[in-house]
Amino acid sequence: MGVARLKKAELYYHKSVHEEIAAALQESGACQIISTAEENSAPPSEIEALISQTDDKLSDIRYLSRTLTPHYVDPIPALDRMLGERPEVTMPELAELSSQTDLKKICEQVRGIEHETGDVRMKLSEARMNVSLLSSLGFFQYPLSVITEGTRTLTGLVGTLKAENVNGFRAVLGDFSQYSQETELVIAPYNEKDKAQEVYAALIYSRSIESEVRELCAKNGLSIIDVPSVFTGTVDEEKEKYSASITELEAKEQELSAKISEAADTYVPTVQKLSDYYVSLSGRYNEMARSYETDCTMLTKFWVPTSKADELKQKIEEISTDIELVMSNPAPDDEPPSLLNNGNTVRPFNILTELYSSPTYRGIDPTPLLAPFFWIFFGMCLGDAGYAIVVFCTILYVFRKYKKIPSGVKEFIRLFLFCSVSTFIYGVISGSFFGNFIDSFVPVLIPLKNSLMLVDPMTNPMQVLGISLLLGVIHLMFGLLIAAYDKLRHGEFINALGNDISWFLLIVGLCLFGVGLGGMLPPHFVQIGQGMAGLGAVIIFLYAGKGEPNFFKKIINGFLALYGSTSYLGDILSYSRLLALGFGSAVIGMVINLLGGLAADIPYVGWVIAIVVIVGGHIFSIAINILGSFVHPLRLQYVEFFGKFYSGGGEPFTPLTLSQEFVNVKA
Amino acid sequence: MLGLSLALFGAALAAALAGIGSAIGIGVAGGAAAGVMTEDPNKFGSCLILQALPGTQGIYGLLIAFFVLNKLGLLGGAGAVDLTWNQGLQILASCLPIAVVGWYSAIWQGKTSAASIQMISKKPEAMGKAIILPAMVETYAVLALLTSILMLMGVQVG
């Protein structure tokens, strides 16, 4: 239970076996390497070479996976993959595969296809641009060589001008032509009303006045367009030529894309396996590079859980006899990483602690403390026996079908399996089965349902509100006691008394007082409550003034501290969400049944619609309510409960492991 | 019939205002999610969860609206109960907490969700914290829902 004990290991070995040692440490999955080399020092020379080799391979693999993966259709559905249905391989098999695969050659082939595709695409876009330009030049009847090459005496240009400027341009050109040589202006058909429209125009003129014409165009709003010099025939001829080339290029592009899909199908499975292999190797060498070296030996330090130390020692000593492994307990000034080590029942809740922040090595592991509360709170929020059965059966089905679920995912699913039990219990005692399904559709079962009901949030919500707030008080007071225990453990008696025990006395005292006044407890509890609350308040008052020399400031600090009780009021009221969310799921269920019932009245097809509404509606309701039932109890743990005693701040234990992104890798 | 109209007006406010808030909140969060997913489409799952968080206010509003309709006997052909204008006004008042708080809290929760989505784009391992921040805002919608429910249960009709 709690944070696992770790050993600090120092491993001295001869350089000749460093690869075997590295593999053994990584495959054990239980060693977190500690840096022994000085900052910025170069890694041991043997390892440096290996690192650069792996990096080289990795860069090829990344290139291939980046290029090919978008074209790859994974035969394994994503959900199956997440639940561990992936190829299984061993490290020796991967090494074998790596030696048989010529990554460089594959890269070359893929790069070839990629280049060719790029080339074709460029040509294609050029051809498309030419066709679109040619379409706008349809008004021009002469061969385009007049413009692109010109004849001995004539040449021409093409440009656009605004529709509103066309007549003006014509007039200017007319004036110009009177005392100069003839020019010919051809204007594309255009709509006179749309003044901002860009109109295409072609102008043919004698070579000798080229510069004057260009100047005139620039002054009068005709902007010249470059016509590619390859255009020589008439517009229609050129267009036909390029349309043909577009068809050809498109066929080529398709062929290339088929080629790359084929390459993806052939190579991606291999690339994925090799990716895991080289990511593992890269991780291994980079971590081992933090070792210390002499001429012939190396020293690697690492953390290992005490429970796995013996097994590891045995494995390492099998490698060579020239090895010295020293294990010691962490020194007081060491800050070891923390690994949560909880039994089967509490382990699914580890993730809740880890989502917040891992405890420090010497700190308290809050997981077993929060687990029962989270379990109850989740049950109250989802609070429906029918939903619980659906969740429970779905999870059992998943566990039966998938045998290789990765442990992290498996624990998370087990969390919901556990919580479905509390959901079922609360559903039964609050009489909720798919909302009010029983009342609406199966009246036979009403007596059974009613006989099992202990609380009824629908008709008597105040009762459930009271239970919610009471659970809140218990949760908060439990948190205060843990905080007090933690302080006492470190010998801080005064702080424990002033910060935690005093508030415990005050709040529990006030609750007893209130409940006693309400007549729910024998009258002498009123006096006990008064006494506890009074004592608590006095301690808080005195503790707040401690260390303040000025008498008036002492008093002010004391009152300010007592004013802090409002925050406890807020904390306790925050638990009213347990009622609200449980109520929410029950009423949403009720609404779905109601809609289903209304739909059933439609003649002939009514029952079909009713089934769709009820089944679909409840699935939606389960999804949305599970989200709420997870988030809100979690908030109660993080904000209200952890706020009293826990701040985390530990470094999680991250051992050197094999990468298993795409395949399940065994040693 | 003024009572019935007032009560229906309350139900409409609850469903409409809280729904508007959720729509805006989810919209804001969705924009951020889309931005993050252009970089890394694999974040779809976590982005979707964060985007869905401001959606609950709309559901709470709907829930209260149904609650009112049920109380008025408008669901399931039983016929509307008789309501004095005073009772109608009481029901209208009961709808206001979730209508107003649902509306505003969903918008702000959406903004927090969007910020959380930005956060997991850089630190995917911080998903737990990213979910809690928007949930802090939702607290007040939950409290408003509770207030509306308790108020509605207190109003005597028929």
| Segment-wise mean pLDDT, segments of 10 residues, chain A, 667 residues | 86 87 89 76 79 91 90 88 87 90 90 93 91 84 82 84 82 74 76 79 83 82 83 84 90 92 90 92 88 85 91 87 87 89 91 88 90 95 94 96 89 95 94 89 88 85 87 94 91 89 92 82 84 91 83 84 80 87 88 88 87 94 92 88 86 90 85
Tokens of A129: 């641009």
CB-CB under 8 Å, B149 with A634? no
CB B105 within 8 A of CB A540: no
Q: What is the end-to-end Cα distance of chain A in Å, rounded?
A: 29
- Per DSSP, helices labelled H in A12-102 are 18-28, 45-68, 78-82, 91-100
Q: Which residue of B129, B149, B156 is the best one to mutate when testing the A interface, meaning the one whose CB has the most A CBs within 10 A?
A: B149
C-alpha distance from B96 to closest chain A C-alpha (Å): 17
Q: Which residue of A349, A630, A638 is the best one to mutate when testing the B interface, meaning the one whose CB has the most B CBs within 10 A?
A: A638
- Per DSSP, helices labelled H in A453-523 are 461-489, 493-495, 502-517
CA distances from A216 to A207, A210, A339 (A): 15, 10, 83
Q: Give the β-pairing of A184-187 and A198-206.
A: antiparallel
Average pLDDT over residues B120-138: 85
Interface of B with A (CB under 8 A): 49, 52-53, 55-56, 59-60, 62-63, 66-67, 70, 75-76, 127-129, 131-132, 135-136, 138-139, 142-143, 145-146, 149-150, 153
CA distances from A502 to A512, A542, A619 (A): 15, 10, 48
CB-CB under 8 Å, A356 with B75? no
CA distances from A554 to A517, A538, A541 (A): 33, 13, 9
Identify which of A434, A426, A382, A424 has the alpha carbon closest to the alpha carbon of residue A595.
A434
Q: Closest partner residue to A588 among B63, B70, B136, by Cβ?
A: B63
pLDDT score of A37: 62
The amino acid occupying position A309 is A
CB B21 within 8 A of CB B145: no
The DSSP annotation for A607-635 comes to HHHHHHHHHHHHHHHHHHHHHHHHHHHHH
* Rounded distance between C-alpha atoms, residue A155 and residue A147, angstroms: 6
> Exposed, middle or buried by CB within 10 Å (0-12, 13-18, 19+), for A108?
exposed
CA distances from A451 to A194, A425, A426, A590 (A): 82, 14, 14, 20
pLDDT at residue B11 above 90?
Answer: yes
Q: Closest partner residue to A574 among B53, B66, B139, by Cβ?
A: B139
Residue of B nearest to A381 (CA): B142
Q: Which of B70 and A628 is assigned the larger pLDDT?
A: A628
Chain B residues inside the 8 Å CB shell of A462: 150
* Rounded distance between C-alpha atoms, residue A14 and residue A21, angstroms: 10
CB-CB under 8 Å, B143 with A587? no
pLDDT score of A385: 93
The pTM score is 0.82
CB B14 within 8 A of CB B68: yes
* Rounded distance between C-alpha atoms, residue A115 and residue A112, angstroms: 5
Chain B residues inside the 8 Å CB shell of A583: 146, 149
C-alpha distance from A433 to closest chain B C-alpha (Å): 18
Query: CA A136, A138, A140, A146: dihedral to nearest 10 degrees?
Result: 80
C-alpha distance from A184 to closest chain B C-alpha (Å): 54
Q: Hey, is the C-beta of A574 within 8 angstroms of any chain B C-beta?
A: yes
CB-CB under 8 Å, A587 with B67? yes
Run of H or E residues at A324? strand A323-328
- Inter-axis angle of helices A577-600 and A606-635, nearest 10: 170
* Rounded distance between C-alpha atoms, residue A169 and residue A222, angstroms: 8
Q: Hey, is the C-beta of A632 within 8 angstroms of any chain B C-beta?
A: yes
Sorted by sequence, the CB contacts under 8 Å of residue A126 that are 6+ apart come out as none
Identify which of A433, A422, A429 has the alpha carbon closest to the alpha carbon of residue A384.
A433
Identify which of A576, A506, A509 has the alpha carbon closest to the alpha carbon of residue A538.
A506
Backbone angles phi, psi at A155, to 5 degrees: -150, 180
> Exposed, middle or buried by CB within 10 Å (0-12, 13-18, 19+), for A423?
buried
CA contacts within 13 A on the Cβ side of B92: 15
CB-CB under 8 Å, B63 with A576? no
CA contacts within 13 A on the Cβ side of A557: 15
Q: Hey, is the C-beta of A638 within 8 angstroms of any chain B C-beta?
A: yes
CB A338 within 8 A of CB A652: yes
Identify which of B30, B35, B46 has the alpha carbon closest to the alpha carbon of residue B111.
B30
pLDDT score of B76: 62
The amino acid occupying position A85 is E
CB A532 within 8 A of CB A552: no
CB-CB under 8 Å, A594 with B66? yes
CB-CB under 8 Å, B75 with A598? yes
Q: Hey, is the C-beta of A588 within 8 angstroms of any chain B C-beta?
A: yes
C-alpha distance from A511 to closest chain B C-alpha (Å): 22
Backbone angles phi, psi at A185, to 5 degrees: -110, 125
* Rounded distance between C-alpha atoms, residue B18 and residue B105, angstroms: 9
Q: Residue A328, Cβ neighbours under 10 Å: how many?
A: 10
Chain B residues inside the 8 Å CB shell of A587: 63, 66-67
Identify which of A312, A223, A236, A229 has the alpha carbon closest to the alpha carbon of residue A9.
A312
Domains of chain B: 2-154 (1.20.120.610)
Q: Which residue shows structure tokens 């876009």?
A: A125
The DSSP annotation for B67-99 comes to HHHHHTT-SSSS-PPP--HHHHHHHHHHHHHHH
* Rounded distance between C-alpha atoms, residue B129 and residue A589, angstroms: 30
* Rounded distance between C-alpha atoms, residue A8 and residue A329, angstroms: 6
Backbone angles phi, psi at A263, to 5 degrees: -60, -40
* Rounded distance between C-alpha atoms, residue B134 and residue A632, angstroms: 11
pLDDT at residue B78 above 70?
Answer: no
Chain A residues inside the 8 Å CB shell of B46: none
